[in-house]
Structure 1
């Protein structure tokens, strides 16, 4: 990456924190962004804090997509940013109103010590709650000062009134008038004195009401409700982020979302792990109906009834585009009483997700039920991920002729067995999606050399394909070479995840090994493993395809890094 002159100068400026008092006051607002990026890239948390505390613009966006090899911002820099946001609430130089941290979180414990999704969520929620507590303390101090000021005014009025009464002495005419009017005059005088006190109290009460910014008391609202309304109307910064919630952080997230104060937390993507259906419902009830784009539920025992219970609530989020369910204990292979009715309710619930474009279902065991799920969706999907679903031939046949086939941009059928009976459906599906499909994963599908030879023409016809994953398939070296020769002819292809050929494994492997056996079986140390890579790279070099990246590293493969 070539740095511009502004970036180089900004990096030099933020490198010396001791000089910041000299230059910070003179920096024009146009250079704040460049300085902040330099502070993040150079890991200068003190500079990050000072810049954010004085941020001159209405919006600050820190989260952004990263290219391959780039790590997320350093943990210390993110912590400094969050602390500076709270300090900026009382700094008149700060114009910040929207803080967008969507996409900021990195991999926990990765290079450069980035802040992971769970840690960032906890830090954000702590920041929101602390900001609310700070406002309450400031309001309490302000209330004490106001009460002291009013008490001093009252004492001053009492002193003046007492001095006036002492100076005034009744003359003979006043005594005669008093005798003439008798007790009635005394009663009127006493009433006049009470009325003056009432007027004084009424003025003081109206001054307090005006100071607090509320109308005349209705008698029905409590003091706490009044304070909550004051804080709710005084949101200074809206914080947008992707939230990662599990059993350890659920209480803190719930408290932050229900807190009314100067910072209001909003969620773009919600990821929950190992929490109950009722807890998920509570979180969804606290989120605004606008702004939530996706929900990812993992390792939670939803069951079919739990999913049916959640779908009506999900349908109230008008912008929801992504629904991901991973290992949520959905099993349609067993004949349970009421399963048909539950499937019907599930189909009706999915039909209400009007804007859904991504559906990911992992290890839910749905043989023969794909038509029930996908046919009810009102709009065609763009991303469909169905790994470990035990799909049947009828499922593949439906998918190949469904209204989703021609719009799919990303398809994952990993760990679903492909054979002679399902291959025609897969070829028809690839033909339907040939102009739109960009990412395809058929890892662990049991593709042999003969099956792959029948599938290669259809794969070669996918003109928009950018990444192809075929790991853990039992291919020989000859079949692998045919795959690579086809790949180099696909001008759009950028990443190919290929399987280790059977010749690279130690002896004893079955003739048709499963994906689990290929994953666990050791490679043969006596065999020159690099020989496979050398032969494949030779094909690349001869074809002139320098832009195609070949790898057999299943654990570090990431299709999202494709440009």
Structure 2
């Protein structure tokens, strides 16, 4: 793609930091966006800071979905951005009110030194706390100045009173001596009795009372009282929002090391307010997760991702009523959270009922991802209680039974699914008809399908290929770690090239590419650990598959066997 003239000029302008005082003084607001993009692309943190500190628009969005091959912003540029936001709070040229950093984080240690989700979360929390501390220091200085002005006015008022008293004394002495009495004394007395200030100092008392009222309001805001808890909490939230200068939207990544820092930042009152779009937590207890959810603004949270936390069925049931209080929540992901329904435990039936009732309260849920939760025979109980049909359903490592797949193929979700992951669930001759029926119902909506590690042999995959070919909207297909021969793999690719919408295929290494000794029907774990043959054999397989692509004229279809770097979102 040929870059535009504006992008080329912006790249040249930000390349020389010594010239920034010249162009910053006259650059129009319409060019701030291209200049900032060029500063991020060229890794110019000083230019990033200067542009953000005087940002002319109300909203600044950095992040979001990146184009293929586009790397996330450099760590130094992100740090410069956050520092500039704090400096911009006292810069009259800065009009920033909303900073949107959703989707900004990259992979820790990736190319170009990006800032990962955990590091970005810690940096954001530090920024919020520092901005609040700076605002508190500025408020103390302002209060001290007001106190000094108040004392000065009080002293001036005492001086005026003493002068009035001396004048009244002189007038009285003159009157007793028989001289003419000035009318100033009577007027002064009348003014003093009626509480009217002297003509020389109009409105002094009003100024004093204004300062007093302001200081009283500040003391009431800081103080805590009792009674009327609900009304007082709402009014306090309104007061706190009125003090916010910039709302910061981001995806937060919280674990045991950063939990306390995030908790402090979310509870901090100051000019920056942190809002969370997607919350990812790892290795946190149920009580910590609940405490964190209590601090999040209700209207902004759209997704929750809980990983490696020993929730248990009971803990998950406790979280659901709290999650239902977030009206925009549409995504819920649980990965390795120790939910095992195969064990017979006392009171489990009641807990399962609570779980079903809790899921029924998630009115906007469209994405549900459950990894390694051991749910054989309970899929109907979970999915049938959802009030809306799902668009994304990920069920890897769930030990699904044929009855579960049969329910799914007839459920309300079958015709609306856009993304389905059934990886590592054994698909045999009994389960295959349900899978084919499910694909038939989802043929017009399914865009991403993953059946990796499902034990699909040449025969099973051959029976499934006609159903796959009917999926007219399918963009990506994952079939890694299935025991296919070279002949079965070629049949798969020949079918794939006849699917116009398909853009990415994750195929398994054929059995012929493995070193000798592999069992006749190896499991996915064995295929993952077993060493491959010489690189020449693997290259020969890739050449045969690419030849099929060339003969079909499908240059837009990407074939890969790299399971670790496979990204289904690349096609979007």
User: Do they superpose with TM above 0.5?
Assistant: yes
* Matching residue of 1:83: 83
> 1:174 Cα deviation (Å)?
5.7
Distance 1:216 1:49 in 2: 36
Partner of 2:332: 323
Distance in 1 separating the partners of 2:558 and 2:549: 9
Contact 2:60–2:98, Cα closer than 8 Å, also in 1: yes
Moved more, 123-132 or 157-166: 157-166
The correspondence for 1:171, drawn from 170, 173, 182, is 173
**Retained in 2: the 8 A contact 1:209–1:216?**
no
The alignment partner of 2:152 has SS state of helix
**Map of 1:290 onto structure 2:** 299
Say which SS state the counterpart of residue 274 (structure 2) adopts.
strand
- 1:521 maps to what in 2? 530
Write the mapping of 1:278-357 to structure 2, written as runs, cut at 5 A. 278-357=287-366
User: Could you tell me which of 171, 190, 209 is aligned with 1:206?
Assistant: 209
Equivalent residue in structure 1 for 2:509, among 500, 507, 510: 500
2:520 aligns with one of 508, 511, 533: 511
Question: Which deviates more, 501-510 or 285-294?
Answer: 285-294
Displacement of 1:526 after TM fit?
Answer: 7.3
Q: Secondary structure at the match of 1:242?
A: strand
Structure 1 residue 161, shift from structure 2 partner: 3.2
Find the aligned partners of 1:218 and 1:517 in 2 and give their Cα distance.
64
**Residue in 2 that maps onto 1:265:** 274
Query: Could you tell me how far apart the structure 2 residues matched to 1:160 and 1:121 are?
Result: 58
Partner of 2:101: 101
> Shift of residue 420 of structure 1?
0.6
Shift of 1:46: 0.5
Is residue 2:46 matched to residue 1:46? yes
- 2:469–2:496 CA contact under 8 A, matched in 1: yes
Q: TM-score, normalised by structure 1?
A: 0.92
Matches within 5 A, 1:224-235: 232-235=241-244
Structure 1 vs Structure 2 CA RMSD: 2.6
Matched residues in 2 for 1:102 and 1:557: separation?
23
The 1:39–1:336 alpha-carbon spacing in structure 2 relative to 1, beyond 3 Å, is: same
Pairwise CA distance, 1:171: 2.3
Look up the match of 2:556.
Answer: 547
Structure 1 residues 215 and 361: CA distance shift in structure 2, 3 A: closer
The structure-2 alpha-carbon separation of the partners of 1:228 and 1:135, relative to structure 1 and needing over 3 Å to count, comes to farther
Alignment check: 8 A CA contact 1:228 1:260 kept: no
How many Å separate the matches in 1 of 2:344 and 2:548?
Answer: 52
Assess if the C-alpha contact under 8 Å between 2:417 and 2:446 holds in 1.
yes
When the two structures are superposed, what TM-score results if normalisation uses the length of structure 2?
Answer: 0.91
Identify the residue that residue 456 of structure 1 maps to in structure 2: 465
Deviation at 1:244, TM superposition (A): 0.6
Deviates more, 1:256-265 or 1:302-311: 256-265
| 8 Å contact from structure 1 (residues 82, 127) kept in 2 | yes
Return 5+ residue gaps in structure 2 as ranges.
179-188, 198-202, 226-232
Q: Secondary structure at the match of 2:25?
A: helix
Is residue 103–residue 242 contact of structure 1 (8 Å, CA) maintained in 2? yes
Match of 1:144 in 2: 144
Deviation per CA, 1:149-193, whole angstroms, max 9, x where unpaired? 2222222332343344445344286699xxxxxxxxxxx9xx989
Structure 1 unmatched ranges of 5 or more: 177-187
User: How far off is 1:2 after superposition?
Assistant: 1.9
In 1, the alpha carbon distance for the partners of 2:400 and 2:206 equals: 77
Q: What is residue 404 of structure 1 aligned with on the other side?
A: 413
**What is the aligned length?**
546
1:111 corresponds in structure 2 to 111
Displacement, 1:13? 0.4
Deviation at 1:417, TM superposition (A): 0.3
